[in-house]
Amino acid sequence: MENLLLWSFYILTFYAFLPGIISRTFGFRVFKKGVAKREIALTFDDGPDPVYTRQLLDLLAEYKAKATFFVVGANAERHPELLQRMHQEGHTIGIHNYVHKSNWLMRPKTVRKQIHRTAAVIRKATGLHPIYYRPPWGIVNLFDFSNLGYLQIILWSSMFNDWRKRVGVGRLTKRMLRKLRPGEVLLLHDCGSTLGADADAPQNMLAALRIYLQEGDKRGFRFVTIKEMIAATDKAREAKGPSVFQRMLVALWLGWEKLFHLLFRLQAVDGGEAIFYYRVRPYKGPTLQLANGLTVRPSDPVIELHFDNSRLLDIMRRSRSIVQVALLVIREVEQALPKLGAHLAGRPEYRDIRALYGISMINRGSEAFGFKVIDLPGGLFSRLTGVYLKLLLRILHPSGRRRLNGKSDSLAPKIIAMGIDEFRSRYEPGARGSGGASSIDPAVSSRTDAKIKSSARYENEKAARGMTP
C-alpha cells in the first residue's frame, strides 16, 4: 500500500503538478500576458449560453470591443448560431474541451478526443479551424506540451471569481478596474452551468464589464482578440530587440559554431559569402533512394551541408515570421548552389562523391533545387536532432520561443539529399541553371520578392490550418 501511494504521488507530480507550475510560473508553451501600449484582451470561458452570451455580444458590439471565446464543445453544439454570430462580429473562438473536465483527470488520448470533437463543432458552425486552446481551470498535463503543438495554449493574467454570485457587482467592478491596463488578458465567464459556478453569476459579470468598458474607452484603451494581443506583443518585443540573456546565448552559440568548424574541418563556400559550409565524410544513416535510381548507402562518401548560423541569424533578425525566414533562405540557397558548383568543379578529390546531403528544419521548397526531402527515421537520433534544431531556432530568432511554438509541428527535421550527378548537371559552370542564373523554376524566383512582402499574412491560424484536427 505504501509503494502504491508513493508511485501515485510520483505520477501525479510529473504528470500533473509540475507541468501546471512550470506553465503558470515560467509561461512555458503558453501565452498569459501581453506587452502592449493600449491593448487589453477580454476572454470568456464556458459558453456559449443562450441568454448571457447574447447579452454579452450586444454589449461588446455597443462598445466596438473584440473578445476571444473559449467554448465548451457540448454547449457550442447546442447553440451553433451563437458561434456564427461571434465569427461574423469579428471575435475569435477557441477550444475549452468538449466537457468542462480537468486534463489532470483524463488520459492524453481522451484530451485529444475532447479537443478534436470541439474543433469539429466550431468548424461546422463557422468554417474556422480553431488554433487557440484553454484547458479547463488552466490545468495542463505533461503530454499537453508535446501533443498539442498545433494549438497555442492561452492562460490569463487576471481572473476575478466572477463565476460566484456572492462576489457582487460592486466588488467585481473594483477588482476589474484594478486590472484596467494594457497587456492584460482577462478571464471572465459568460455561462454559469459548470461545476462550482452559480447559474446567474454572469449577470454580475455583465454589469461590471459595462463599467469596465466605459472606463477603458475614456482612457483610450482598445479591447482586442487574443490574436491581436499576441501580434502586438511580438511587435513590441521585436522593437525592443533581444535581451541581454539572449545576446549572451547567441554569442556562446556562435562561438561554439566556430569551434565546431575547426574541430570537424568544415569548409566555406565563396570565402564564407554563401549560406552554408560543407565537409566530405562517409555517409552515416539509413539507405537513401534518390532520383534516377541512385542509392546512397552507409559509408558512401558524401558532401554534408551545414547552414552558416551567423548568416541565418542575420536573416532571422530581418524577418517578421518563420515563413519569411524560409523565403529568404530560398533566395540565399538559390545564389549559393552555383557557387558551390564552381567550387567543386574539376577537383579530383571530389570525384567519388555520391551525393550532397544535410538535415534541416527549413526544408520546404528544397525539391525545386533538385533535392529530395526524406523523413528522418524515428529513434533517439531523430528526437535529439529535433531538440537541437528547435533550440537553435529559439536562440537565434529575435522574437523568442513564442513565434516558433505556433509552428512547432511544421518545423520537423528532415533529410535533404541530391545525387552528385544531378547537382553537377544543375550547378557546375556551363550547366543549365548555373553561372548565377536561377536553377529553380523561374516562377519560384520571380515570385520570391512578392511572397516576402506579403508573408505577414501567414499568421498562426493559416500555418496551423492543415494540422488542426
d(CA 299, CA 278): 17
Q: How many angstroms from the chain centroid is the CA of residue 89?
A: 26
DSSP 98: S
Active-site hit among 79, 91, 189, 343: 189
**Cell 461545476, residue located:** 195
**Cell 540573456, residue located:** 245
- 189 counts as catalytic: yes
- 96 counts as catalytic: no
**Cell 466550431, residue located:** 122
Give the CA dihedral 333, 336, 341, 342, nearest 10 degrees.
170
Residue-wise DSSP of 374-403: EEPPSSHHHHHHHHHHHHHHHHHSTT-HHH
Question: CA end-to-end span of the chain, whole Å?
Answer: 41
Residue 206 identity (one-letter amino acid): L
Residue from 355, 345, 365 nearest 431 by CA: 345
Q: Name the phi and psi angles at 191, rounded to 5.
A: -145, 135
Active-site hit among 45, 144, 190, 234: 45
d(CA 300, CA 281): 8
**Cell 478534436, residue located:** 116
Residue 298 preceded by cis peptide, ω within 30: no
Give bridge partners of residue 281 from the DSSP assignment.
Answer: 302
Cell of 17: 503538478
Residue from 20, 66, 73 nearest 194 by CA: 73
Length of the chain: 469
Residue-wise DSSP of 65-84: ---EEEE-HHHHHH-HHHHH
Residue-wise burial string across 394-404, b where 16 or more C-beta atoms lie within 10 A, e elsewhere: bbbbbbbbbbb
Residues marked active site are found at 45, 189
